[in-house]
Amino acid sequence: MLAICEDCSKKYNIDESKMKGDRARFSCQECGHIIVVVRKGAADRSDENPATQPADKSRQ
């Protein structure tokens, strides 16, 4: 999944399988900003809008 530094907009490709929990944080290599990554599907009220989630996708 893609993580973007909020400070310098550098993009990182995160391997979700290497995340131990629903969240991971690391320092941006460009600016040192702490980037918090939330795994897709994890309940996160601040970053994701539930209305846009394709909740019924797996129900085909």
The C-alpha atoms of residue 60 and residue 45 are separated, in whole angstroms, by 27
CB 58, min distance to Zn ion, A:
34
Kindly state whether residue 26 participates in binding Zn ion, applying the rule CB under 5 A. no
Task: Report the amino acid identity of residue 48.
Answer: E
CB 33, min distance to Zn ion, A:
4
Among 1, 16, 23, 30, binds Zn ion (CB under 5 A): 30
Segment interacting with Zn ion, rule: CB under 5 A, options 15-23, 27-35, 41-49, 51-59: 27-35
Kindly state whether residue 34 participates in binding Zn ion, applying the rule CB under 5 A. no
Decide: helix, strand or coil at residue 39: coil
Terminal alpha carbon distance of the chain:
24
Q: Looking at the chain, how many residues does it have?
A: 60
